[in-house]
Structure 1
Amino acid sequence: MTTPARDSSPGPPPGCPAHAAKGAVPLSGPRFHTDPAQLYRDIRREHGPVVPVLLPGDVPAWLVIGYREMYHVTAEPRLFPRDSGLWNQWDTLPEDWPLRPMVNGRQPGIYYTVGAEHQRHVAMVQSALEGVSQLELDKQCEELADGLIDAFCQRGEADIIAEYAKPLPILVLSRLLGLPDADAPAMTRAITALADGGVDALEAFQYFGDRLARLVEEKRTAPGADVTSRMLAYPETFTDEEYQLDLQALLAAGHLPTADWIGNSVRLMLTDERFAASLSGGRHSVPEAMNEVLWEDTPTQILAGRWAARDTTLGGYRIAAGDMLLLGLAGANSDPEVHVSAGASDGFRNGNNAHFSFSHGEFGCPFQAQEIAESISRTGIEVLLDRLPDVDLAVSAQTLARRPSAFLRGMTVLPVQFSPNPPVGGR
């Protein structure tokens, strides 16, 4: 592909037949949130493991949905770096393009730096996360989970998404970073607006950045036992903007995917008879349900992204220098070749964490962050089942709706009913 002329509207670049009007797949529409599994099967059959797609505004990109191709892209950071400054479409984008915050290549934080500079950021963030006590984390998760359940346990009904799955991760992560609990609702609204990529995305991005910039100032003046203070105390020098951007990456990447991990796992356990035993108070199926969700219903369906450092080929297509590649994590996890080669799909999933739900390679989610997300999700689900052992769906499973996004897959609401219980007032 070549970059469109400056005076043309963003669209399929000339000389790229794969992105012709009838060939490229728009990354929008109801099928991405009503039946993505069938959609991925259809586009895999039509295009193979790499799919020409169009982002909002007919901006061209490539969606990688083959497991082997995904491994190749994520394992070759020199060929496919996470350096959006390479993108050959920047000159075509309007300033109010809604996905601009998601792919902004002019930010010096952990998410878009490469090479030695990226490793410097990773080392600082990992060092700060290593200071998180597992015992203290579990205690905080249980305390906050109990507090949220106390707010609705006497009603006998609740929306698990709005009242539990969404607020729990942001509250835990806010405490880890040193933010007050009172900031959690506004942070939730901002992160959700960013993820949905709507008209309020740019305003949300501004609020998000400003609040974390103030957090850096606050912790420099009054450090505490939190991740932000440990980042500031790290022996290497970073700018305030770099600290702010690294905090943004931690909070944004940790909130909605963890909330959706909780919501999708609870939905699975309430609708699939294989996990019914967990609803009587047993916990042996919680890890299995969580792992199945990462394979079959992963919260992050598509991740932006990688950019080709030079001309190359992938999945039978010519990829030009500067082309954007979107990581189709859900598509790669469901690649039939991988499941067939491993035998029965159930046996392949159970206990196997070779999925791409946390991405992979040099730019994959840091292991410490994965552990924190797993602890929040597991503890949140376990406390919910302990407190509300007879919890059940309050509506037909067929009426449950997903967030209208090709990038993130989570429930918009999850109405449940249960026997009213007294609050415990924290543990």
Structure 2
Amino acid sequence: PSILYTVGERHRERAAMISDALEAVDPHLLRGHAERFADELVDRLCAKGEADLVGDYAMLLPVRVLARLYGFPDEQGPALVTALNDMIDGRERALAGQTHLGTSMARLLADRKAAPADDVASRMLADESGFTEEEVAQDLMVMMAAGHQPTADWIGNSLRLMLTDDRFAASLFGGRNSVAEAMNEVLWEDTPTQNVAGRWAARDTQLGGRRIRAGDLVLLGLQGANSDPQVRTDGSALTGGNNAHFSFGHGEHRCPFPAQEVAEVIARTGIEVVLDRLPDIDLAVPAGSLTRRPSPWLRGLTELPVRFTPTTALGGTSA
């Protein structure tokens, strides 16, 4: 099983393995990969004057960057994007996507076992806790999925607010908040990971004034925690540098801190590249017509149609 289904000391060891492998990522290299892939995606659409910033951009960027960090060659990136999005979509292609991702991870680990490199997969294989290749592969798949979809939704939700909320847009484009600060507000108001499923009570206990019996299934409402009236007594937005939200969880099973930093760099870079390359983007449909994916767990848009003045690709030719 993956790290999602471990507890106690074994969980702490696997979390440490993941954290150590991600913490060693060079932040300048990470930013460079994110900028390069973001520019490539914008190059594909910039001459058209219109795009879907979810399907054409946000849903493609995080997995390309993560695949590069984990050790995959760039040419395998597009197939990994398709496989992971098919798996997340949960329809007829989901099993094929999962199979492709699993096979790709196993092949990557075999390659890195024979020839280690400066990447996440090699560092996880070199961990001294004695995890099997299968365990490392399972954790890499979890890391890929958990790092891709919420980050894609973070990009999409942030861009939606910029295009539909005048106060947010004025705050961002007026220079009073940086993109990073605006993104932090999104984590409070429109967090990508709304709920987390599946913790079973090991014993009878009291939680928040409620009696929880051994064996009860507990669903963790991260957005509900962010909106707790005991935390936000006046109902106002928590802006600026306040990052005391629960969007990445809390405690031993939270998203590891280095993973949070990787996601933040990818999302921030993705947003900044769009703002730089397409400065006059505008929503192409009424704001009220935007729809969310039907999921109780993740909050993201099905699409974000925009229009903008056509521009030339960075390579100097029309995309």
TM-score of the superposed pair, with normalisation by structure 1: 0.69
SS at match of 2:252: helix
TM-aligned CA deviation for residue 181 of structure 1: 3.1
Deviations 1:335-361 (A, max 9, x none): 222210xx4622x34321111100001
Q: 1:225/1:425 Cα in 2 relative to 1: closer, same or farther (>3 Å)?
A: farther
Q: 2:287 aligns with which of 384, 397, 400?
A: 397
Distance 1:190 1:321 in 2: 38
Per-residue deviation, 1:185: 3.8
SS of 1:305's partner is strand
Taking structure 1 as reference, are residues 333 and 194 closer, same or farther at Cα in structure 2, changes over 3 Å only?
farther
Residues 401-421 of structure 1, C-alpha deviations (whole Å, 9 max, x = no match): 111111111111111111111
Q: Does 1:149 align with 2:39?
A: no
The gaps in structure 1 that reach 5 residues or longer are 1-106
Which residue of structure 2 aligns with residue 294 of structure 1?
187
The 5-angstrom pairing of residues 203-352 of structure 1 reads 203-277=96-170, 284-340=177-233, 343=234, 345-346=236-237, 348-352=238-242
Q: Which aligned runs of 4 or more in structure 1 are off by greater than 6 angstroms? A: none
| Structure 1 residue 164, shift from structure 2 partner | 1.0
Q: Does 1:119 align with 2:12?
A: yes
- In 1, the alpha carbon distance for the partners of 2:272 and 2:290 equals 22
Deviations 1:291-328 (A, max 9, x none): 12111111111112321111223345443322221111
- Assess if the C-alpha contact under 8 Å between 1:279 and 1:389 holds in 2: no
Distance 1:110 1:246, change over 3 A: same
From the superposition, tell whether residues 309 and 196 of structure 1 become closer, same or farther in structure 2 (CA, over 3 Å): farther
Supply the RMSD in Å over aligned alpha carbons. Answer: 2.2
Kept in 2, the 8 Å contact 1:281–1:386? The answer is no
* Distance in 2 (alpha carbons) for counterparts of 1:224 and 1:384: 32
Match of 1:128?
21
- Give the gaps of 5 or more residues in structure 2: none
Instruction: Quote the offset at 1:282 in angstroms.
Output: 5.3
What is the number of residues matched between the two proteins?
Answer: 316
**Equivalent position amino acid for 2:310 in 1:** P
Alignment partner for residue 407 of structure 1, among 297, 308, 312?
Answer: 297
How far is 1:285 from its partner? Answer: 3.9
**1:267–1:352: structure 2 CA closer, same or farther, 3 Å change rule?**
same
TM, length-normalised to structure 2: 0.92
Pair 1:421–1:278, CA change in 2 (3 A): farther
Question: Partner of 1:422 in structure 2?
Answer: 312
